[in-house]
Amino acid sequence: MTIIRSIIRKYSTHPPKRQSSLSDIYKLYKNKTPITVITAHDYITGKIADKSSEIDAILVGDSLAMVAKGHPSTLELEFDDFYYSTKSVIRSINEKFLIVDLPFGSFESSINQCIDSAIKLMKLGKIGSIKLEGSYELTDRIKTLNNFGIPVTGHIGLQPQKFNLTGGFKAQGRNSIQALEIFKQALHLQEIGCKLIVLECIPEKLSHYVTENLNIPTIGIGAGNKTSGQVLVMSDALGMLDNKLPKFVNPYLNIHNLSIDALNNYGNDVKNLNFPNSSTHTYPMNDEEFEKFQKLAQTCI
Ligand code: KIV
């Protein structure tokens, strides 16, 4: 009984704290406390992330194209589909700092297009930062977003939106020339006002060097543990799909297999008439009322 009570206490809804802001994230950075970020792609995953006491921020990443919508890459994702999913996540969030991606096709063609997409998202509320993949090519866009009060998270190293150009989903910056380029991109993003930078799939030595030489937080994925924080895609971390996981992911759970086992149990229970159970899963009806009903029903037959 005591164990059940403590489980209920641990997972039950507690009075929500205020939503974290960029300055809360910077406090962690200043204190050298690793910043923990996880993606959420719908209301359920948003709720789970928002309730985890060890998660600091939630990212609505365009990885949802691949893990929630079944596309082969992030390029196929329509802004409207992404917008719809973002709205679901936002409804689930009370406490965590929220970062939202600009998906492929929603910011490239002009500054206006970029600002319009970002403002449309910001108007949903609760968003603390907009994330964009790229560096120099986004200078005007990032500066303008900043001028309008929208904190920007940069994203360099492996940029999944550019996989056609970079030879697939491969680690970047593994030779000195590429590494220097990534370092320069990071310095540039800081210079033009980015507040956070995601470093994806680069060597740990490089992400360490970049992090040590910036005065804004870096959030790594496949970049080792010397960054200011880490981000993972929730479906990878919790084993929600049966896909091969990237080498840098630590699977903390296998929800996919656990769920199949649970559905098999449900199916077996139904087939063996063990579910629903008459005493626990059904609504009672007084015998007298049922007899009256039978008499009334006879008139309909
Ligand atoms: O879209 C995403 O989930 C991301 C993370 C991999 C950083 O950008």
Buried/exposed code over 117-154 (b: 16+ C-beta within 10 A; e: otherwise): bbeebbeeebbbbbbbbbbeebeebbebbeeeebbbbb
With cut-offs at 50, 70 and 90, classify the pLDDT of residue 2: low
Distance set, CA 3 to CA 13, 52, 115, 145, 220 (Å): 18, 20, 51, 50, 37
Residue nearest to ligand 1 atom 4, measured at CA: 61
User: Which run of H or E residues covers position 63?
Assistant: none
Pocket of ligand 1 (CB under 6 A): 39, 59, 61-63, 101, 155, 198, 200, 221, 231, 233
Contact, 71 vs 77, CB < 8 A? yes
Q: How far is the CA of 287 from the centre of ligand 1 (A)?
A: 59
Q: How far is the CA of 270 from the centre of ligand 1 (A)?
A: 40
Give the list of residues 6+ apart from residue 183 with CB closer than 8 angstroms, or none.
206, 209, 210, 213
Q: Is position 204 annotated as part of the catalytic site?
A: no
Q: Is the pLDDT of residue 3 over 60?
A: no
Residue to mutate (ligand 1; options 36, 37, 39; most atoms within 8 A of CB) = 39
Return the SS3 of 31: coil
* Torsional class of 54: left (φ above 0), alpha (ψ -120 to 50), beta (otherwise): alpha
Which one, of 133, 175, 181, 139, lies nearest residue 155 by Cα?
Answer: 133
Residue nearest to ligand 1 atom 1, measured at CA: 61
* 271-280: average pLDDT: 96
Contact, 234 vs 40, CB < 8 A? yes
With cut-offs at 50, 70 and 90, classify the pLDDT of residue 15: low
Q: Is the pLDDT of residue 239 over 60?
A: yes
Q: What pLDDT sits at residue 254?
A: 97
Strands (DSSP E) contained in the chain are 35-39, 57-60, 97-101, 129-133, 152-157, 196-200, 218-221, 229-232
pLDDT, tens digit (0-9, with 9 covering 90-100), for 109-124: 999 999 999 999 999 9
Locate the ligand 1 atom nearest the alpha carbon of residue 62 and give its number. 1
Contact, 243 vs 256, CB < 8 A? no
Catalytic residue chosen out of the listed positions 200, 204, 289, 291: 200
What φ, ψ does residue 3 adopt, rounded to 5°? -65, -45
* 284-292: average pLDDT: 97
pLDDT, tens digit (0-9, with 9 covering 90-100), for 35-83: 999 999 999 999 999 999 999 999 999 999 999 999 999 999 999 999 9
Residue to mutate (ligand 1; options 35, 42, 62; most atoms within 8 A of CB) = 62
Contact, 201 vs 207, CB < 8 A? no
* 87-97: average pLDDT: 98
Distance from C-alpha of 272 to C-alpha of 270, rounded to nearest angstrom? 5
Q: Residue 108 burial by CB count (10 A; 0-12/13-18/19+): exposed, middle or buried? A: middle
Q: How far is the CA of 284 from the centre of ligand 1 (A)?
A: 50
pLDDT, tens digit (0-9, with 9 covering 90-100), for 123-160: 999 999 999 999 999 999 999 999 999 999 999 999 99
For residue 210, the one-letter residue type is: V
Residue nearest to ligand 1 atom 3, measured at CA: 61
Distance from C-alpha of 253 to C-alpha of 233, rounded to nearest angstrom? 13
Q: How far is the CA of 249 from the centre of ligand 1 (A)?
A: 13
**Distinct helix (H) and strand (E) counts, the chain:** 13, 8
Q: How far is the CA of 233 from the centre of ligand 1 (A)?
A: 7
Locate the ligand 1 atom nearest the alpha carbon of residue 39 and give its number. 3
With cut-offs at 50, 70 and 90, classify the pLDDT of residue 282: very high
Q: Is the pLDDT of residue 17 over 90?
A: no
Give the list of residues 6+ apart from residue 129 with CB closer than 8 angstroms, or none.
22, 97, 98, 99, 100, 150, 151, 152, 153, 195, 196
Q: What pLDDT sits at residue 10?
A: 62
Q: How far is the CA of 62 from the centre of ligand 1 (A)?
A: 6
Q: What pLDDT sits at residue 12?
A: 60
Q: What pLDDT sits at residue 266?
A: 98
Locate the ligand 1 atom nearest the alpha carbon of residue 231 and give its number. 7
Q: What pLDDT sits at residue 29?
A: 98
Q: What mean pLDDT, rounded, does the chain reach?
A: 95
